[in-house]
Chains A and B, each alone.
Chain A
Amino acid sequence: MRRRWLTRQLRLVPALLVPTARAIGWAPPLAAFALSVGLLVLAVRPGASSAGSLVVWLRITMVVGALGYAFLLDDPSEPTTQAVAGSLLLRRTLRVALLLPATAAWWAAAVWRVRVVHPGVPLPVAALTLEVGALLAITIALAAAGSRLAPERRGGVMAAPTLLAVTGAAILLPARLALYAQPGGPGWAGAHQRWAMLLGCALAAFAVASRDPAHGQVRSRVRNRFRRPARGHEAGRRPPGIRDAEPETTRPVP
């Protein structure tokens, strides 16, 4: 059953690609990528520099780039597209997938800039890529959760400030729980275990926050339909004077 559902969803992907690409607001993520790389170019200049300071600038680049991701899921048309065959999770995953090439290019450009300016400084690229992956996943999860709370499903309004707050809180974490460890420091390995854990949790949270609300409603309607006889029986025992709403009380719009 689950497999058939998955197959059906995947068959929809080619049909959804172009409309999703058109629906995405490309300006926020691309502007964030451009701004973050611009800041990095201004900050990372030739001269004496340590791996620690370069990592700090790469982390600032990550946060600024992730701010653009906060607005990726903003879709005021979501309430009207609840009824389409593709699930909300599929539509949102497609949005993320469509931005992935640009994200990869952005991160490669950032790392390349640092490598070119400071070829002699060893840079832990794999660990930093894990950090950026986890941070982007957290941002997407925040945006998905925020879209349930923000008006017009614009979760970015909540996700962007929350991302800044989460980053600030992560900087202030005590040493035994630190996420932003110094390269070569004693907490580096532990911090990246925590980043990997956060990546998994954020992806799970994204999936949970992207459950299709329409499916839930359909399921509950079906369940209610099967329960109707029992409810009708209860309704028959209602005190006199309380009636079901009559359909003709709602007047059609002329």
Chain B
Amino acid sequence: MTPTTAVEHRGRPPAGSGRHGPGEVAGGARSRRAMLALAVVESGRLLRHPAVLAAAAFGAVLLWSSGRHIVPVLSRSDIATQIPLAPLAAAALLATNLAALRAHRDGAEDLYGATGLSLALRTIAHLLSVLALVALAGALVAADLAWLAWVPGRVGAPNPAELATGPALIALCGCLGVLLGRVWRSVTVAPLALAGLAAGSFALNLPGFNNRPVAWLGALRVVHGDPLPAALLGRPASWHLAYLVGGAAAVGALAVAFAVWRGQARAGRDGRAVTATVLVAALAVTTTAAVAQTRPPSPALAARQVATTGRPTAHQVCQRRGPAVYCVFPGFQPQISLWEPTVRAVLGSVPPAVTAAAPPVVVAQRIDQGGMTLQQLALAMAQRKDLRGQAVAPVGTAWGRTGRALGASQLRLAGAVAARIVGLPAPRPPAQPPAHLGEIRISDPAVNARAVVALWLAAQAGPQAAAELRHRMSQMGIVGDVGEAFNLTDQPDWDDPAWGGREGQYALALLDRPPGQVRETLRRNWALLTSPATTRARLAEVFGLQPPPQQGPNQIDDHQLQSTQGTTR
């Protein structure tokens, strides 16, 4: 503070110099230097502010935790950097507001009036100090991307506009903190404004607004579900970045304008003209970007999303690796090496003669249907029904890295591969499209002995897959009747097989047996156990199993062949 004050005194223009004389020009240059010196000091104070330090640490933890579970798809990882930076944006608003109000809080405004730096120049210094927080956010984003780029199997390329959105939000919030400090000399306003902003952005991300372009008027737009191929994203990321940056510039210019008005500034005509020009230009950019980003998505994009869901094979490239053919969306080829061990683990538990005689399993990527409208889903379903071809084992566009996420990915793929190898019929899309978004219709669940065998094979993909199967079955036990059909994924495609709940219970009982013993029995009785005419009771006899106890009100007879029936969740 001391050096700044010294510079300020030296930078004061000589009294009574009304014209642009050489002394005033030199004084102006000194004032700018003093302003930059103040900006440097304020930057340091902002970076050391407890709220900023805590938010930066919290943001770093959020970035780490959001990236550690899934093998990165960088066209989604860039979007995933935005929410973790929201706490830092909140801290920027509060910290810059407190900094702008420091002189008022300390009762030092009269003292500042005796210095050469006008309120407008001090306001600009506060606005410039926000750049330090932007740089901090940029460093966090860069570190996150560098970490994710080293993960084996990562795919895609990040969008620079998405990466810059988080830092731009911090710039907007920092400038807003300064503006609020200039308009209201109260520390109460900033927390309330922050709460209002957060509540507004939260409301715009609720399902009611989720598919409406107006949701882009909020600070950030959250995405759910598995990552989509970049061509299907349809996010106006560049316009949203312009909206945030333009908003930050407009808010900053308003803060300077208020300071000029408040300070009865020694600001010259040039300064006022520059402020007005920046304000008008920033408002123009913000308005244009707001209009552009809230336009409805193009019909071509909607058609592309429908076609990719309805006829995915037309948009995929396939390659044979070992006992399977892998079909992926362009750019997702590195993920094949992540799937291979799972496919090999399942086929490794099948008698070699069966694997050799069977046609290669087709593993095909499917996109998450969660982001589509009901109309798009109906169209895509009609296209899929017309599709004729070999049954496939679907796999999502996201693949887990550790723990439950890895287990869930493995279980979905392994279950689908096992369904193909035991000869279960290919699943069909349900007769009717979903009545509301998020509804999952389970039709034709796999039942009887071969479904039990397939579920046991799926759990052989690895310990995480077995743990995930146990977890899913335990969740079913909590929420409802264990006789209910279930999926092995929360984002099922129409090609994902569904499973009978009783079959799941038998598979868990089989999992408690030594794997080598089960594998040997399976090898000797493969034809019997994978026959559509073999009941669960017969399978229990072959393995010497005690039938698992039934808990639901509707007891199922294990001696009878189970017929399939659809259920809805």
Given contacts A71-B188, A154-B105, A60 and B51 within 8 Å (CB-CB): no
How near does chain B come to A184, taking the closest CB pair, in angstroms? Answer: 13
Given contacts A161-B94, A164-B90, A168-B87, A154 and B187 within 8 Å (CB-CB): yes
User: How far apart are the CA atoms of A2 and B565 in the complex, in Å?
Assistant: 75
How near does chain A come to B259, taking the closest CB pair, in angstroms? Answer: 22
A residues within 8 A CB of B87?
168
B199 A60 Cβ-Cβ under 8 A: yes
How near does chain B come to A140, taking the closest CB pair, in angstroms? Answer: 15
Closest to A60 in B: B199
User: How far apart are the CA atoms of A31 and B186 in the complex, in Å?
Assistant: 12
Given contacts A161-B91, A164-B90, A168-B87, A31 and B105 within 8 Å (CB-CB): no
* Cross-chain pairs A/B with CB under 8 angstroms, 19 sampled: A25-B188, A27-B188, A28-B186, A28-B188, A35-B192, A35-B195, A35-B196, A63-B195, A64-B192, A64-B195, A67-B191, A67-B192, A67-B195, A71-B188, A154-B187, A156-B187, A157-B98, A164-B90, A168-B87
Chain A contact residues: helix, strand, loop or mixed: helix
User: How far apart are the CA atoms of A233 and B381 in the complex, in Å?
Assistant: 97
B residues within 8 A CB of A25?
188
Which residues in chain A, 20-68, are within 8 Å of chain B measured between CB atoms?
25, 27-28, 31-32, 35-36, 39, 42-43, 53, 60, 63-64, 67-68
In the A-B complex, the 10 residue pairs with the closest CB atoms: A160-B191, A28-B188, A64-B195, A67-B191, A39-B199, A161-B51, A71-B188, A60-B199, A161-B94, A157-B187
Closest to B106 in A: A151
Cross-interface CB contact of A164 among B188, B191, B203, B206, cutoff 8 Å: B191
Closest to A53 in B: B206
B residues within 8 A CB of A157?
98, 187
How near does chain A come to B476, taking the closest CB pair, in angstroms? Answer: 15
A152 B105 Cβ-Cβ under 8 A: yes
Which residues in chain B, 90-140, are within 8 Å of chain A measured between CB atoms?
90-91, 94, 98, 105-106
| Residue B54 is within 8 A (CB to CB) of chain A in the complex | yes
User: How far apart are the CA atoms of A39 and B198 in the complex, in Å?
Assistant: 11
A contact residues, total (Cβ < 8 Å): 28
B residues within 8 A CB of A43?
199, 203
Point out residues on B near A: beta carbons under 8 Å. 51, 54, 58, 87, 90-91, 94, 98, 105-106, 186-188, 191-192, 194-196, 199-200, 202-203, 206
A residues within 8 A CB of B191?
67, 70, 160-161, 164
How near does chain B come to A75, taking the closest CB pair, in angstroms? Answer: 14
B residues within 8 A CB of A165?
54
User: How far apart are the CA atoms of A172 and B91 in the complex, in Å?
Assistant: 18
Chain B contact residues: helix, strand, loop or mixed: helix
How near does chain A come to B563, taking the closest CB pair, in angstroms? Answer: 34
B residues within 8 A CB of A70?
191
A residues within 8 A CB of B192?
28, 31-32, 35, 64, 67-68
User: How far apart are the CA atoms of A46 and B525 in the complex, in Å?
Assistant: 61
Closest to B102 in A: A151
Closest to A158 in B: B50
User: How far apart are the CA atoms of A67 and B90 in the complex, in Å?
Assistant: 14
User: How far apart are the CA atoms of A64 and B51 in the complex, in Å?
Assistant: 19
User: How far apart are the CA atoms of A43 and B202 in the complex, in Å?
Assistant: 10
Closest to A38 in B: B196
B188 A156 Cβ-Cβ under 8 A: yes
Given contacts A70-B191, A165-B54, A168-B87, A27 and B196 within 8 Å (CB-CB): no
A residues within 8 A CB of B195?
35-36, 63-64, 67, 164
User: How far apart are the CA atoms of A152 and B187 in the complex, in Å?
Assistant: 13
A residues within 8 A CB of B202?
60
A152-B105, A157-B98, A164-B90 given. 16 additional CB < 8 A pairs?
Answer: A27-B186, A28-B186, A31-B188, A31-B192, A32-B192, A35-B195, A35-B196, A42-B203, A43-B199, A67-B192, A71-B188, A151-B105, A156-B188, A160-B188, A161-B91, A164-B191
Closest to B200 in A: A39
User: How far apart are the CA atoms of A28 and B187 in the complex, in Å?
Assistant: 9
User: How far apart are the CA atoms of A222 and B206 in the complex, in Å?
Assistant: 62
User: How far apart are the CA atoms of A156 and B200 in the complex, in Å?
Assistant: 23
Closest to B190 in A: A160
How near does chain B come to A223, taking the closest CB pair, in angstroms? Answer: 36
A residues within 8 A CB of B106?
151
How near does chain B come to A61, taking the closest CB pair, in angstroms? Answer: 9
Contact indicator per residue, chain A 5-31, by CB within 8 Å of chain B (1) or not (0):
000000000000000000001011001
A39 B196 Cβ-Cβ under 8 A: yes
How near does chain A come to B247, taking the closest CB pair, in angstroms? Answer: 21
User: How far apart are the CA atoms of A42 and B87 in the complex, in Å?
Assistant: 24
How near does chain B come to A20, taking the closest CB pair, in angstroms? Answer: 19
